[in-house]
Amino acid sequence: MAESNFVDYVKIFTRSGKGGAGSMHFRREKFVPKGGPDGGDGGRGGHVILKGNAQLWTLLHLKYQKHIYAGHGESGGKQCSFGADGEDVILEVPLGTVVKDVETEEHICEITKDGETFILEKGGRGGQGNTHFKSATHQAPRFAQPGEDYTEGWKIMELKILADVGLVGFPNAGKSTLLSVVSAAKPEIADYPFTTLVPNLGIVGHRESRSFVMADIPGIIEGAHEGKGLGLRFLRHIERNSMLLFMVPADSKDHRKEYFILLNELEKYNPELLDKDRFLAISKSDFLDEDLIKEISAELGDIPHMFISSVTGFGIARLKDKIWQILNP
């Protein structure tokens, strides 16, 4: 994922189409001077429709398309002919897109499946022609129904990455390195904080042609739930992960404390995140001997954990087995 191309937040203005007016027309032929009403119905206004597309991973294509208008329905005609419907606008969005109303912040919808659709702005109904209003006592109605008006409004679209496994850890915990080792993803890796500024996705191959999707979530810092660093942008991507793999480096001063700081940030942001399955990987463990491993294990107590090294491959196969076991109980 190129950083400049990843957009996970856009604000757009959407408007549906007006419904076409019904026709007030009377049949007029050479030998039928008073043929009665034959006005047709107006066409429906165009919808603005969201559609999930599993091939998309960013909202970049909507960033510079701020105003989106559907087509208006055409008016009805003579001989009971219907007006054409207004043209629908279909906005393809990546899976995990959440839509909210700008003014009320009301949750409108979320798209989670490929091909899933949702009518974001409903087009106005077409008006009925005067032929609908004739009766035995009113044989020549000189009126027809106007079409319904459009709907419009500003919307916020947020992308929450959909993945089986979300990597959670402070900057430089080794998340990007792990993802680069277990998948074909090529995240930027360097020895300084906040190397990763956007989520990276990778498909991790497992035994017997199995696979799962892993997301490298940008590093969390203490206070992220209050918006420190880029906390709120980072944290929302964790909400759609099936399980969370916490990562604490072996050279941490206090592994248990660091784990609970991360857990606390998730709880303060959204307590429901604690309901997800979670597991702890102690990364960068290639320099640990057996005594240090036992010492850290005793410190962690009942926290389910495993020691790994992305550089040497130590523990990586076992970790993938464990993740698969958690995802497929």
When the candidates are 2.170.150.20, 3.30.830.10, 2.70.210.12, 3.30.460.10, the CATH number that belongs to 1-159 is 2.70.210.12
212: enclosing H helix or E strand: strand 211-216
DSSP 55-84: T---SHHHHT--EEEPPPPPPP-STTPPPP
Please enumerate in sequence order all residues whose Cβ is within 8 A of that of 221, keeping only pairs 6 or more positions apart, or say none.
170, 171, 228, 229, 231
The one-letter amino acid code at 59 reads L
Separation of alpha carbons 322 and 317, rounded Å? 9
Please enumerate in sequence order all residues whose Cβ is within 8 A of that of 219, keeping only pairs 6 or more positions apart, or say none.
169, 170, 171, 172, 173, 175, 193, 194, 196, 229, 234
Averages of pLDDT over each 10 residues, the chain, 329 residues: 66 96 85 80 96 89 92 92 95 92 92 95 95 85 92 92 86 86 66 54 83 80 50 68 92 93 87 92 92 94 94 94 93
Structure tokens at 15: 């408007």
DSSP 13-43: EEE-PPPPPPP--B--BTTBTT--B-PPPPP
Q: Let me know if the fold of 1-159 is the same as that of 163-327.
A: no
Q: Determine the pLDDT at residue 189.
A: 47
Q: Determine the pLDDT at residue 173.
A: 83
Separation of alpha carbons 228 and 265, rounded Å? 11
Q: Determine the pLDDT at residue 295.
A: 94
Separation of alpha carbons 239 and 237, rounded Å? 5
Q: Determine the pLDDT at residue 216.
A: 83
- Structural fold of domain 163-327: Rossmann fold (3.40.50)
pTM for the predicted model, two decimal places: 0.69
Strand partners, 302: none
Handedness of CA 266, 267, 272, 275 (dihedral sign): positive
Handedness of CA 201, 163, 248, 221 (dihedral sign): positive
Report DSSP state, residue 130. Answer: G
Separation of alpha carbons 220 and 227, rounded Å? 10
Contact between 113 and 7 (Cβ < 8 Å): no
The one-letter amino acid code at 157 reads M
Contact between 19 and 122 (Cβ < 8 Å): no
- Dihedral of the CA atoms 43, 48, 51, 53 (nearest 10)? 120
Residue with tokens 């995802």: 327
Domain boundaries, the chain: 1-159, 163-327
| H-type alpha helices, the chain | 60-63, 175-182, 231-235, 255-269, 290-300, 316-327
